[in-house]
Amino acid sequence: MSAVTAPSVSVIRVLGVKDDELLRRLAHAGLSFTIGEARRVAALLGRDPTVVEGNIFNTMWSEHCSYKSSREVLGEYLPTEGTGVVLGPGEDAGIVRLATVNGKSYCIAIAHESHNHPSQVVPNEGAATGIGGIVRDVYCMGADVVGVLDPLRFGDPMGENGERTREIVHGVVEGIWQYANALGVPNLGGDVYFDSSFDENCLVNVVALGLVAEDEIVRSRIPLEAKDSDYDVILVGKPTDPSGFGGATFASRILDEERALDDKYAVQVPDPFLKRMLAVATREVLKLVRDSGAVIGFKDLGAGGIACATSELGAAAGLGVRIDLSRVIVAESNLPAEVIACSETQERYCLVVPRELSPEVLRIYNEVFELPEICHGSGASVIGEVIQEARFVLEYAGATVCDASTEQITTGVCYKRESRGREPVCKEDVLPDGLDPRAVLLDVLGSVNVASREHVYRHYECEVKGCAIVRPGEADAGVIAPIPGAAVGVAVACDGNPFYGAVDSYQAGAVAVAESVRNVAAVGAHPIALTDCLNFGNPEVPEVFHDFVEAVRGIGDAARGIGLKDSGEPIPVISGNVSFYNQSSGGSAILPSPIVCCVGRLVDVSRHVTMGFKSGGNSIYLLGRRSAKLGASAVLRTVAGDATASVPEVDFDDERHMMAAVTDIAESGLAASCHDISDGGVAVAVAEMVLTSPEDSRVGARISVPRLDGSPAALAGETGPSGFAGTRESEAKRDLVLLFSEAGGYLLEVAPDDEDRLLNVLEDRGVWYSRVGTTVAGVGLSFTGIAGGDFTLSVEELARPWTDGATEAMR
Amino acid sequence: MMKSRARIAVIRFPGVNCEDETRRAVESRGMDCDIFMWNGSHERLVEYDGYVLPGGFTYQDRVRAGAIAAKDRVVDCLFDEAQAGKPIIGICNGAQILLESGMVPGITPGKVEMGLARNIMPDRDGYYTRWTHLRIESDSSCVTCVMSKGDVTSIPTAHAEGRFVTTTEGLIDRLFDNGQVVMTYAGLKGEAEPAFPYNPNGSTRGIAAVSNPSGNAVAMMPHPERAVRLAQVPESLPGRWGAERRAAAGSRRILTEPGPGGEVFKSLGAFIAERLRGKRGDA
């Protein structure tokens, strides 16, 4: 039955071993299997697993690699297909068509992951290898990486663990810039939130997107041509070392302070220099492959290292591989076979190429680009071959140390977790009496979750590659023109307000989609695809699993409900990642944090729109009804210290109509500026439009409280606080709600000559709108007709809290 | 025989990451351009009319930014070509290489007379990216010869080590007197020696670019290859270029009209044409 016979190969005894003894043996072997899983491995193999096999199954069946808790839920709720989708979830990156230029179809490849636990333990290296891992996922599709984004969640910088939190912020930001800047990939956006639930478990999510011609896509599988001819397996990159051994299982359990030192060894060591050399050299290799008419398989090495990458390459094609671990270039001698097979050493790729091409591939890496000389010990070598039988065979020092069917290894396990709803949060979201609207605006602008992120994004390259059109800080989404000489643009943004998660996970998922769509639409782009990274606590806790299911349901419903512009199709979710076990050692989970990235297309990038006001005398329009529900809002957090109250519900129809109208308006060149409404509502949005106007020719605004047809503005939401009308005090509160409501919407600046055409579009698209003010050159921001009293703030008064508000937390 | 188009080599050292857009920027000004591998043949290298050392992180910034690449054999070859008067532009990490090799400022050729030190910025450290305003201090260098002294232009910067420093007494004054200071950072209204963030790194007297005495080898920290088209200029940028950009908003013009960095590559082309004319004149 088994080829594993050599007496020198050590095994993990499972068969005939009692439960408590087995548990002890598993712990001794450093495996995180449950007893049931270990017995299942033995049953599948029909014998005791070798130590190497034990480690492989342990990695492949980890939550991180197998999605054993989440797979069914994702499959049930997320729309992943569509006419523009070339490749949905399943391989290293999803691929969606962008545009055809001169007869050539170009696509965007995108991947989205988390690197949360490593960043908590070793912030700099953790965040850096997060970038390193995500760009490999995109490069290995044959794409050139054209941008990265980083949604980050940190603990309370001024709280109990403030000092550690600020160290983590500094380390993470430094890790990102040190890696991505050196690699030469522009940072196109991201966001930063702070909350004490992240004190012991920060979130470092990463998105990478790449450009690839459709006929040059490389798949992460052994080509079917290998059925008829000899194919080699080539490993290229950094010499294999023990770093990151056990990384996938580390990512799949709860962090423990006492094990922090051990965990450090589970974090990989980044090398952006080698990554850049590999990217440039691989470009030459792929050109060689195309010119020779060959088909290859190409996969990055991430979680589970050689074992995971090569077995998945085989399983995807129904073929097998035989790898000789002795042929792997290693950094140190005497590494055990299981370490060579499963370590997560960074900066490595696996190629499956026709044998006659192997010498030339090796020559490009090792001689043309001199990898072994310029990056000590690195290089390319043939480590094995494709075999016809669908088996995964590893040999080491003449002995077979693993012999299993590729399907058994890669199919893995699946769990149906228990799900139980939480007690609903039923706090009344009544604002305190007697608030001064001017002071509230300054406090909200200077609050740590609203203030400018300039301190962070100025660390990041955004213009390398020469494609940048809109940089971080200039608009709601980053915009690039990635195809030289072509007018097509790509917009990208990611979102996920964690405070929604504290109240309603379904809305948290839905609003993450809605806001990322708004951000992309606000620059004038049509959404074409979504990705998600789902960050939650321990899925074995029924309430946490319920949060997860609800968030996925919210994402799915929003993707379908908003949909592609003027099409019946959902916005497809083409890639993503699930990160569980994000919680403190004390057992409290992070705020449920579904984070969504939206990619959009601008047919003509010259029609993009930025958010800074452009000139005085223009009209300012509000799109989208305000809501009386202030749950999750910045204003409630600022004035009441807590915002766990009912949240505004995303209205998918409204969002769809607004997205269509705003992109119509951009394409017709009618918008001088546009900004979506999110944290801090209309008041903060308009302040940001003032603050991002040109520094030498500032444009301010005069704003009145949003109203409709002369009557108090319609407040969406049936269960909001009542009794606004009547007393002066209640009217003042109503006006605050209108100014700070975070219900979805947009602000648009339009020149007087274009106003009629703008209104036609809004009427045609059935969008709720209200003219809320006028731009004024050279002065600050005035609010008039407010029950709580009119007020004016100079640009300097607005700038101070907004510029400084988060700086202290970020250094 | 007269060559119709200038030929430029963009040198790819291990770790550079701006070679592709630098090549496109050179080509956008009517020159031919190749990316030339650091380990390529020197016989072929000397055939080019000019050279650009693009930005990046050569050799992982081991020891110091640019320090290892400056010892590369290919730099010896470039040194000779610079001595012969061919233009060589070092951008960002390329500038660090030119200083580390003693090509710039080159009062004593081959001697390291200046360094590019870590940025000094209030309340922050590490990398800093920002569009900067630049005063043209010399209009005879290979990156400014189509511009006029006193002009103010805008080009983005992005680096962690871009502060021009020297320990040689009197060197800075001498560089200004010699016209070897090519560009300095300018304030919002073009004023000289501004404070952070207009001087983004604390550079001595706001120096942003320095040349050798002949002006044919220039070490510049700003990235002109990121500003060759109007579309690459931020819409909210203050100053003349921002205003031009906003005036063209929504028009396809932004995709074709040159941006401020284009002037740098136009200068490179003009410098080569002038040099070749001079050579023919000599002959």
List, for residues A679-703, the tens digit of each pLDDT value.
Answer: 999 999 999 999 999 999 999 999 9
- Residues of chain A found within 8 Å of residue B14, distances taken between Cβ atoms: 273, 277, 369-370, 374-375
Nearest-CA distance A522 → chain B (Å): 15
Residue A10 burial class via C-beta count within 10 angstroms: exposed 0-12, middle 13-18, buried 19 and up: middle
Cis amide prior to B222 (ω within 30 degrees): no
Q: How far apart are CA A310 and CA A300, in angstroms?
A: 10
Identify the band that residue A715 occupies on the pLDDT scale cut at 50, 70 and 90: low
Total length of chain A: 811
Nearest CB to B127 within list A177, A276, A465? A177
Q: β-strands A781-784, A699-704: how paired?
A: parallel
Helix, strand, coil percentages in chain B from 3-state DSSP, rounded to 5: 30, 25, 45
CA-closest candidate to residue B182, choices B147, B158, B154: B147
What does the pLDDT read at residue B146?
Answer: 97
Answer yes or no: do A276 and B56 touch at CB < 8 A.
yes
Residue B112 burial class via C-beta count within 10 angstroms: exposed 0-12, middle 13-18, buried 19 and up: middle
List, for residues B81-98, the tens digit of each pLDDT value.
Answer: 999 999 999 999 999 999
Q: What average pLDDT does the structure give for chain B?
A: 94
Answer yes or no: do B236 and A695 touch at CB < 8 A.
yes
Nearest-CA distance A667 → chain B (Å): 9
Q: How far apart are CA A193 and CA A590, in angstroms?
A: 12
Answer yes or no: do A273 and B124 touch at CB < 8 A.
no
The residue of chain A with its CA nearest to that of B93 is: A182
Nearest CB to A811 within list B24, B124, B251? B124
- Residues of chain A found within 8 Å of residue B15, distances taken between Cβ atoms: 182, 273, 276-277
- The two structure tokens encoding residue A418: 């228990």
- Residues of chain A found within 8 Å of residue B236, distances taken between Cβ atoms: 474, 610, 612, 692-695
List, for residues A141-174, the tens digit of each pLDDT value.
Answer: 999 999 999 999 999 999 999 999 999 999 999 9
Q: Cβ(B25)–Cβ(B261) under 8 Å? A: yes
Q: How far apart are CA A192 and CA A344, in angstroms?
A: 28
Q: How far apart are CA A244 and CA A126, in angstroms?
A: 11
Answer yes or no: do B252 and A606 touch at CB < 8 A.
yes
**% of chain A surpassing 70 pLDDT:** 93
Q: How far apart are CA A589 and CA A254, in angstroms?
A: 10
Answer yes or no: do A811 and B123 touch at CB < 8 A.
yes
List, for residues B96-110, the tens digit of each pLDDT value.
Answer: 999 999 999 999 999
Q: Which range (A381-395, A528-542, B57-71) has the least confidence?
A: B57-71
Nearest-CA distance A656 → chain B (Å): 24
> What integer is the mean pLDDT of B255-265?
96
Answer yes or no: do B126 and A459 touch at CB < 8 A.
yes
The residue among A424 and B122 whose pLDDT is bigger is B122
Answer yes or no: do B231 and A694 touch at CB < 8 A.
no
Mutant choice from A365, A606, A689 vs B, greatest count of B C-beta within 10 A: A606
Cis amide prior to A272 (ω within 30 degrees): no
Q: How far is CA B17 from the centre of its chain?
A: 15
Q: Cβ(A599)–Cβ(A492) under 8 Å? A: yes
Answer yes or no: do A466 and B225 touch at CB < 8 A.
yes
> What integer is the mean pLDDT of A246-265?
58
Q: Count Cβ–Cβ pairs < 8 Å, chain A vs chain B.
A: 132
Q: Cβ(A356)–Cβ(A70) under 8 Å? A: no
Q: How far apart are CA B218 and CA A499, in angstroms?
A: 52
What does the pLDDT read at residue A711?
Answer: 41
What does the pLDDT read at residue A400?
Answer: 95
The residue of chain B with its CA nearest to that of A804 is: B123
Helix axes A652-667, A755-764, angle to 10 degrees: 150
Answer yes or no: do B24 and A484 touch at CB < 8 A.
yes
Identify the band that residue A716 occupies on the pLDDT scale cut at 50, 70 and 90: very low
Q: What is the DSSP letter of B247?
A: H
pTM score of the predicted model: 0.94
The residue of chain B with its CA nearest to that of A466 is: B226
Residue A717 has pLDDT above 50, yes or no: no
- Residues of chain A found within 8 Å of residue B249, distances taken between Cβ atoms: 614, 672
Nearest CB to A693 within list B14, B232, B236? B236
Q: How far apart are CA A287 and CA B185, in angstroms?
A: 42
Q: What average pLDDT does the structure give for chain A?
A: 91
Answer yes or no: do A272 and B189 touch at CB < 8 A.
no
Residue A263 has pLDDT above 70, yes or no: no
Summary count for chain A: helices (H), strands (E): 27, 30
Residue A446 has pLDDT above 90, yes or no: yes
Residue B78 has pLDDT above 50, yes or no: yes
Nearest-CA distance B152 → chain A (Å): 15
CB atoms within 10 A of CB A541: 18
Q: In chain A, which among 570-599 make CB contacts under 8 A with chain B?
A: none
**% of chain A surpassing 90 pLDDT:** 75
What does the pLDDT read at residue A256?
Answer: 61
Nearest-CA distance A559 → chain B (Å): 30
User: Which residues of A are catalytic, by number?
Assistant: 64, 115
- Give the active site residue among B92, B100, B113, B145: B92
Q: Cβ(B81)–Cβ(B51) under 8 Å? A: yes
List, for residues A373-387, the tens digit of each pLDDT value.
Answer: 998 889 999 999 999
What does the pLDDT read at residue A723?
Answer: 41
Identify the band that residue B205 occupies on the pLDDT scale cut at 50, 70 and 90: very high
CA-closest candidate to residue A296, choices A348, A350, A354: A354
Phi and psi at residue B257, to the nearest 5°: -70, 145
Would you call B133 a catalytic residue per the annotation? no
Highest mean pLDDT among A34-48, A255-269, A304-318, A456-470: A456-470
Beta bridge partners of A676: A746
- What strand order describes the sheet that includes A297-300? A297-300, A348-354, A231-237, A379-387, A320-324, A391-396, A399-405
Q: Cβ(A67)–Cβ(A35) under 8 Å? A: no
Helix, strand, coil percentages in chain A from 3-state DSSP, rounded to 5: 40, 25, 40
CB atoms within 10 A of CB A136: 26
List, for residues A203-238, the tens digit of each pLDDT value.
Answer: 999 999 999 999 999 999 999 999 999 999 999 999
The residue of chain B with its CA nearest to that of A694 is: B236
What does the pLDDT read at residue A584?
Answer: 84
The residue of chain B with its CA nearest to that of A666 is: B250
Identify the band that residue A260 occupies on the pLDDT scale cut at 50, 70 and 90: low
Identify the band that residue B25 occupies on the pLDDT scale cut at 50, 70 and 90: very high
Q: Which range (A556-565, A576-585, A768-777, B157-166) has the least confidence?
A: A576-585
